[in-house]
Chains A and B, each alone.
Chain A
């Protein structure tokens, strides 16, 4: 299927960072727009609405999180945050403010591209699209609520499936603890992350080849979980 190239807007005050990001995205078929500060970013995006925004937190005229809030006031465009050092609290705050994901500098280009693709896929997903989410050997059919690992059906409890379902809907993107707890549990249990930890452990035992070293259901420490969309080469 041939579709027009996705437009990515890079907002970063460092020309060197923009340069390699531009190269990386262009190599992967994106059309690249650049802005070196928040004002320019807002101007550029009114003339040519981007399909995805890569936003550096450290901008000369406005803090990234404020710009993110402004963008969110008029658009649902996917936003991926770049930051030098972000504590867990800050990451959670960014995700709650509407960021789709984040990468911490220094980061791999492959990582950023994977996040961007995941965000775009989620953004452009239509009702008519195939309701099956594939993550490596795992496939989750969101319509029939069936899960298969290497074509073999996996039996999950209701809560295990609910967890996997939410992660599959955001495949490739991080989902915060809070969001998972609120969507799976009710009452007091909503605030107890211990339930989530144990549930994840049990789900991993069913879908991971080695539950001690998960490749599909990834922990983002202090932030949440992510269902990996692409399985990278086995690390040594």
Chain B
């Protein structure tokens, strides 16, 4: 064997070693290939064998025209021309067809164009160098080209995935209910992952229902069954022992509710591939979670909108009541008052009593409307006490003035402590509360009976109490007294009322940091209602001393 032959052999060997050492097929890959072959021999042929044949055909196609031109020209063209099939193979079919093309090209060049022709032996050292250079260049460039192809492919695939994910998120953006969302997830999974995914919808009892498509293997079904539909539950990864496939289970949830679980088969493969696919699945889950959040925000906004409407309605009601009802009332009351002063009416007893009746009924109507206004004021959340130091005597006096007409048939006695401390209250609210209690006392006690008002100073409190000699309160009624619109069965038919009075009184007192208590010795034994309000800590004698300067 000549020197050059040895060199060429050496080159062949080292090239092959270099090729295989760099990129050794892992056992897993081999398994996968074998599996693919067993599953579908036709596609295996097309994917694996055909490119190799095409690479050889490419080399042959280049060799043919070179043989036709003169030998001298051919030798000069050989290195460049043979790069063509190598590059084509590398960019079209990848590293293996390209390597085969490189070796075949070199062999063909050696055989057909380097002396001695039609032999694999090489005579001149220059030719050896040429061939060596060709091989190195073609291997390196085919490696580069195929890597480029691989990366382009990956990019393309990723772009496709992103495109799908984007479409999915667009679809999600159009979701307005959880049902829309669930069907979007189903669509996406079945279209892009086929039978390798399933969606389990959460059931109201904190478990997950069976998937629509019954593709999930048994271990996955068991895994999902063992998961509780509780917010914040971590995702799980399940390996199907039978097929060695990895399934990811990820909860689809917001901060508070779990809507379902996605199970996705991410197949087998290297840990890197699994990681990449896990990331992809997680991107989907994240996309879904964002949509859920949006749906939740949407729901919250809808809720807020309804709430606002209710608020506006109440405000409008309040405004309408106060204007549309009070204005005609003012006109009636004013007209009646003017009428009463007209000399001819003054003289006519019958006309005068009619005018007085109008005035009284209007005043009655007015007090009902004021009650309703107060109640809407409370429910509209507009109760903001305007605190001011107030003399408790003024409160009692004002409440008595407000209710003078209602109390006309009763004997009213007020007992006030000397040197009552001042109280820091919203006088309007507390006056109204006292007036309500006085009205109730008059309403539920016989005409001519006694109503006693007491104001006492407790060290830290001022206690205003209203006692009557009326129908009293049973313990059962006492429990329900604080409710709005509560009216006892005993006198619902006999005494008119809205059931708002006591509720307004206690709400107003509470708004002034006070308390209301009710006591009664029982049915028919009268009632005492007491309001306790925090008193001024200031010593009154200190204040009055300043008056003598």
Chain A residues close to B by CB (< 8 Å)? 14, 16-17, 19-21, 23-24, 27, 58, 84-85, 87-89, 105-110, 157-160, 189, 193-195, 197-202, 211-214, 219, 221-222, 235-236
Contacts and interface: CB of A to CB of B under 8 A. Distances in A.
Given A106-B330, A198-B544, A221-B398, 13 more contacts: A23-B335, A24-B341, A85-B373, A87-B386, A105-B330, A106-B366, A109-B337, A160-B547, A198-B543, A213-B397, A221-B431, A235-B401, A235-B404
11 contacts: A16-B327, A20-B331, A24-B338, A84-B323, A85-B322, A107-B330, A108-B337, A110-B337, A157-B547, A189-B546, A199-B547
Nearest to A163: B547
B329 A106 contact: yes
Given A85-B322, A88-B386, A221-B431, A20 B400 contact: no
B538 interface: yes
A197 B341 contact: no
Contacts of A58: 323
B338 to A, nearest CB: 4
B422 A17 contact: no
A215 to B, nearest CB: 10
A107 B331 contact: no
A236 to B, nearest CB: 4
A178 B396 CA distance: 23
Interface in B404-431: 404-405, 407-408, 414, 416, 422, 426-428, 431
A202 B337 CA distance: 36
B328 interface: yes
Contacts of B394: 219, 221
Contacts of B72: none
B327 A20 contact: no
A125 B403 CA distance: 37
Contact of B408 (A27, A105, A200, A236): A236
Contacts of B549: 158-159
Given A21-B334, A213-B400, A106 B323 contact: no
A107 B334 contact: yes
A16 B322 contact: no
Contacts of B544: 198, 202
Nearest to A199: B547
B355 to A, nearest CB: 12
A14 B327 contact: yes
B390 A221 contact: yes
B9 interface: no
Contact of B327 (A84, A108, A221): A84
Contacts of A212: 393, 396-397, 414, 416
Interface in B362-377: 362, 366, 373
Interface string B114-147: 0000000000000000000000000000000000
B397 A214 contact: yes
Contacts of A189: 546
B404 A195 contact: no
A213 B548 CA distance: 25
A199 B544 CA distance: 7
Contacts of B407: 236
A107 B334 CA distance: 7
Nearest to A85: B322
